[in-house]
Amino acid sequence: MKRTATSYRYLALFVLPALAVYVLFSVYPLISSVFLSFFDSDDKAAGQQFIGFDNYVYLFTNPTTSERFWNALGNNVEFFLIHLLVELPIGLLMAALLTSGVLRKSTGAYRTLLFIPATLSVVIVGFIWRLLISPLWGVVDFPLLGNELTALPTISLMSVWQYIGIPMIFLYTALLAIPHDILEAAKIDGARGWTTFWKIKFPLIAPQFGLIVILTYIWTFNGFDIIYALNGSAPGPNYSTDILGTLFYRTFFGSSGQVANLDLGATVATVIFFIILVVTAVYFFVLQRRLKTYEL
């Protein structure tokens, strides 16, 4: 297609509204919060003072804040790993079953049922699960949410239960896109179900699988809602369910006893942003390129 001045003008016209909204509500706040993290605005009389990396130094060297930060980061890694090791394999299994043909006409019903939790409000999911496992009213006698060792895995599994439909639907559509003639060829060559799946189907959906891994990483490191809904902004017991999102919330907005600190909150937000940015960038530059997309 020949690109003329007019076509460029139309291109700009169509892109501009979305770009304006994106810049105003996403790029600008991001940059301004990075900006804010280099200032100290506690002293109202003196106004905002540029202090360089002092907020970062404070975050990582003050015994209290650094302990909370590393604790939250560790918990967040655990939160992610549980999603990675439980949600994705089960999602893949369900997607494989849905496309395998063994469910015949009930595929649609299963697909809908499995996806429904993802459409529920986090508050409702948290509330129902809290009741189910309450030592007073529920079916489990053990205080799962009250024990430092079990609280985080319990909440993670609730989240897995809720969002299992997302990787499932993602991989399901990828599996559906595989042309039938390839599978038929494999069948004629004598490949059985297991072999077909791992040698033919999975390599073909590997790029999508990689993408859902990195999306899960982004979602869990931006995670906040289910923990906040269940355990508030100082998630106990003894901060064992505190993740970066709740740490940020507590720092930026304050909690009952903690005074809100905008600069330090912005610092935490920036650190979270870089944790996500670095890993995502590494993934895209190093790994995603190697996951070859086969020309079909």
Partner 1 sequence: MRSRLAPIAAIAVTAMGLALAGCAGGGADSGDTTKLVLGSWRTEDIAMWEDEILPAFHEANPDIEVEFAATDTNDYNAAIQSQVAGGNAPDLITCRPFDVNRAWIEDGYFDDLTGLEALDSFTPTALAAWTGADDAPYCVPVASVLAGFYYNKAIFDELGLEVPTTQAEFVDVLQAVKDNGKYTPLALGSADGWQLAYNVLYSMGPNYWKGEEGRLGLIDGTQKLTDPDFVAAFQAVDDLKPYLPSGFEAITYDDMGQLFNLGQAAIIPDGSWNINQLTSTGLDVGVFGAPVPEAGDQRYQQEMPDMAIGLSADSKNKEAAKVFLNWLTSDDFLSIFVNKLPGFFAMTTDAPSYDNPLAQEFSDLKTDAELTPRLALDRLSAGTPPLDDEIWVALQEMYAGTLTPDTATAQLQADLESWYVPAG
Mention every residue, 6+ apart, whose C-beta is less than 8 A from residue 122: 162, 225, 226, 229
Any contact of residue 239 with partner 1 (CB under 8 A)? yes
Stretch of residues binding partner 1 (CB under 8 A), selected from 16-24, 176-184, 197-205, 257-265: 257-265
Any contact of residue 63 with partner 1 (CB under 8 A)? yes
Q: Which residue type sits at 145? A: L
Any contact of residue 153 with partner 1 (CB under 8 A)? no
Any contact of residue 192 with partner 1 (CB under 8 A)? no
Nearest-approach distance from CB 67 to partner 1, in angstroms:
9
Q: In the complex with partner 1, which residue's Cβ is closer, 49 or 62? A: 62
CB 168 within 8 A of CB 91: yes
Any contact of residue 133 with partner 1 (CB under 8 A)? yes
Closest by Cα among 152, 106, 175, 146 to 237 = 146
- Alpha-carbon Rg for the chain in angstroms: 24
Q: In the complex with partner 1, which residue's Cβ is closer, 62 or 195? A: 62
Any contact of residue 266 with partner 1 (CB under 8 A)? no
Nearest-approach distance from CB 137 to partner 1, in angstroms:
8
Closest by Cα among 61, 41, 74, 28 to 239 = 74
Q: In the complex with partner 1, which residue's Cβ is closer, 39 or 163? A: 39
Closest by Cα among 39, 57, 51, 80 to 245 = 80
Stretch of residues binding partner 1 (CB under 8 A), selected from 91-99, 127-135, 157-165, 171-179: 127-135
Any contact of residue 136 with partner 1 (CB under 8 A)? yes
SS3 121: coil
CB 230 within 8 A of CB 159: no
Any contact of residue 238 with partner 1 (CB under 8 A)? yes
CB 216 within 8 A of CB 87: yes
Distance CA 243, CA 20 (A): 32
Residues engaged in binding partner 1 (CB under 8 A): 44, 62-65, 130, 133-137, 141-148, 234, 236-239, 255-259
